[in-house]
Amino acid sequence: MVIPALNEATALPDLLADLAPLLACGAQIIVADGGSNDGTLALIGTSDWVNAPRGRARQMNAGAELARGEVLWFVHADTRLPMAIDEIWTSLLADHEWQWGRFDVRLSGNDWRLKVIGQMINWRSRLSGIATGDQGLFVRRALFEKLGGFADLALMEDIELCKRLKTHAPALNLRQRLATSSRRWERRGIARTVGLMWLLRARYFFGADPNALARLYRQS
């Protein structure tokens, strides 16, 4: 597993606790840090870590280079895993047919609108064959390396990779749900965040520069 992190001292311990069953089974956990200054690295414990240039694409590529396994799993630091994650992965690894895939997702907040948004994300992903980083992308190392990993984009690196992946094989869509933090949705406002996400996707679809989109995302 590769976890891109930047100042995630609050969220990372919960994810690492969820990962304990996988660690016990011999899984390799790699934290790809983009320059944290909040004590994130002090919390890594027995996990591997790598310093990487800031930016999720660069951090995840750096983590993938350090990984030893045949399957790469990319998970954001503010994610919580479903119960029996070790059993889920045992079943996945026993299946040699899939090439890449993702989990369903739910947003962590209690607001009913967040529950609806999470379900819509899952439906959209199934219809489009495109997943976002919050959905825990996993991919065979051979295919990931064949495609050259994540493109060096400031934003939309997950969508760009999925577009290339689905030309080689359809995604395996798991119904088990990862819980992703709703902190940004709640801080910015739910309706406003929905509008921003659609705006960013529309502009990207019509060829906008990902660097400009990243600036808009940070400023909004």
Band (pLDDT 50/70/90 cuts) for residue 88 is very high
The residues, any chain, with a CB within 8 Å of residue 78's CB and separated by 6 or more, are 8, 11, 15, 180, 181, 183
pLDDT of residue 98: 97
Nearest-angstrom CA–CA distance, 141 and 69:
8
Mean pLDDT computed over 147-155: 96
pTM given for the model: 0.94
**What backbone torsions phi and psi does residue 48 show, to the nearest 5 degrees?**
-75, 160
For the cut 90, the answer to whether the pLDDT of residue 114 exceeds it is yes
pLDDT of residue 167: 96
pLDDT of residue 220: 67
Mean pLDDT computed over 136-140: 98
pLDDT, the chain, mean = 93
pLDDT of residue 198: 87
pLDDT tens digits along 1-47: 999 999 999 999 999 999 999 988 889 999 999 999 999 989 887 67
For the cut 90, the answer to whether the pLDDT of residue 170 exceeds it is yes
For the cut 90, the answer to whether the pLDDT of residue 62 exceeds it is yes
Mean pLDDT computed over 166-173: 96
pLDDT of residue 205: 85
Going by CATH, does the domain composed of 2-186 fall within 3.40.50.970? no
Q: State what percent of residues in the chain have pLDDT above 70.
A: 99
The residues, any chain, with a CB within 8 Å of residue 171's CB and separated by 6 or more, are 100, 101, 102, 125, 129, 131, 162, 165
Band (pLDDT 50/70/90 cuts) for residue 70 is very high
Band (pLDDT 50/70/90 cuts) for residue 188 is confident
Residue boundaries of the structural domains of the chain: 2-186
Nearest-angstrom CA–CA distance, 98 and 164:
15
Band (pLDDT 50/70/90 cuts) for residue 218 is confident
